[in-house]
């Protein structure tokens, strides 16, 4: 079970690689530039149910995307939730 | 749980070190240990004692230093990545005949072996990179 931490925008090379590498049972955490995925509710990652996807709240707020995330009912975690995810998942990969 | 952080982004131009710093405080707040922070690639710029942001902005070097002083967190900097980028300790400056240096304790120039040691000592190694 791996926590995939994506730091880049949804259509970037790193995002595509992460999408290919992720397996059912893993989780995907979107931080930094990756939180712009909140503006695109049609992305594949929001439509699948194989793995949970979370947006980092502080990075959403910093970019003014918090309303978009709540409007589209997308799951968010704060920085403490980020730590909890790393407690839960033994391994992590940062995609950048 | 013991955590280690690998920081590979430059402060002020990339978000990675700022994310890492927030994460560091969050793991300590949850009662975990931070066994060390390893600065690699452009992350070595976090250690520069010459960084001079405006006084009303975060000085990230001071923030890392405070983490060391308050929680005893080792701050290791990859020597090969640092020297390439002009981040130099007093002894390295003397060795290369430079008149100035910009890396001081509690930051320490170390080799990549230190990163492997950190990884082996930790249950979690989290990478912050851009």
How many domains does the structure of chain B reveal? 1
Over residues B56-78, the mean pLDDT reads 98
Could you list the active site residues of B?
78
B32–chain A Cβ distance below 8 A for any pair: yes
Which residues of A have a CB under 8 Å from any CB of B? 5, 7, 31-33, 58-59, 79-80, 82-84, 86-87, 90, 92-94, 96
CA distance linking residue B58 with residue A92, whole number of Å: 28
Domain that holds residue B28: 2-128
Name every chain A residue with its beta carbon within 8 A of the beta carbon of B23. Answer: 79, 82-83
Interface ipTM > 0.90: yes
The string of pLDDT tens digits covering residues A11-67 is: 999 999 999 999 999 999 999 999 999 999 999 999 999 999 999 999 999 999 999
Over residues B70-77, the mean pLDDT reads 98
- pLDDT above 70 covers a percentage of chain B that reads 100
At B82, is the pLDDT very low, low, confident or very high (cuts 50, 70, 90)?
very high
Q: How far is B88 from chain A (nearest CA, A)?
A: 27
pLDDT at position B72: 97
Interface test with A, best of B14, B16, B26 (most A CBs within 10 A): B26
CA distance linking residue B36 with residue A41, whole number of Å: 38
The string of pLDDT tens digits covering residues B1-15 is: 999 999 999 999 999
CATH code at B20?
3.40.1260.10
List, in sequence order, every residue forming a beta bridge with A6; answer none if it has no partner.
Answer: A30, A95
In chain A, where are the structural domains located? 2-95
The residue whose two tokens read 């995810």 is A85
At A83, is the pLDDT very low, low, confident or very high (cuts 50, 70, 90)?
very high
User: Nearest CB to A82: which of B1, B15, B23?
Assistant: B23
Q: Is the CATH number 3.40.1260.10 carried by domain A2-95? A: yes
The string of pLDDT tens digits covering residues B12-50 is: 999 999 999 999 999 999 999 999 999 999 999 999 999
């Amino acid at each position: 079970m791996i926590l995939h931490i994506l730091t880049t925008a949804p259509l970037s090379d790193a995002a595509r690689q992460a999408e290919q590498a992720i397996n059912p049972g893993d989780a995907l955490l979107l931080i930094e530039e990756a939180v712009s995925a909140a503006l695109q509710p049609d992305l594949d990652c929001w439509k699948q149910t194989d793995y949970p996807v979370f947006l980092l709240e502080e990075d959403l707020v910093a970019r003014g995307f918090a309303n978009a995330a709540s409007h589209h009912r997308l799951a968010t975690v704060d920085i403490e939730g980020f730590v909890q995810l790393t407690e839960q998942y033994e391994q992590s990969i940062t995609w950048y | 749980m013991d955590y280690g952080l690998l920081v590979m982004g430059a402060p002020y131009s990339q978000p990675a070190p700022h994310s890492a710093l927030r994460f560091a405080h969050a793991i300590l707040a949850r009662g975990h240990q931070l066994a060390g922070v390893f600065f690699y690639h452009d992350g070595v710029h976090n250690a520069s004692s010459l960084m001079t942001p405006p006084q009303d902005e975060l000085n990230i070097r001071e923030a890392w230093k405070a983490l060391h002083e308050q929680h005893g967190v080792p701050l290791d900097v990859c020597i090969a990545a640092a020297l390439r980028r002009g981040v130099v300790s007093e002894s390295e400056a003397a060795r290369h005949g430079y008149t100035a240096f910009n890396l001081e304790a509690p930051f320490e120039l170390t080799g990549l072996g230190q990163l492997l040691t950190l990884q082996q000592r930790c249950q979690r190694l989290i990478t912050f990179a851009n």
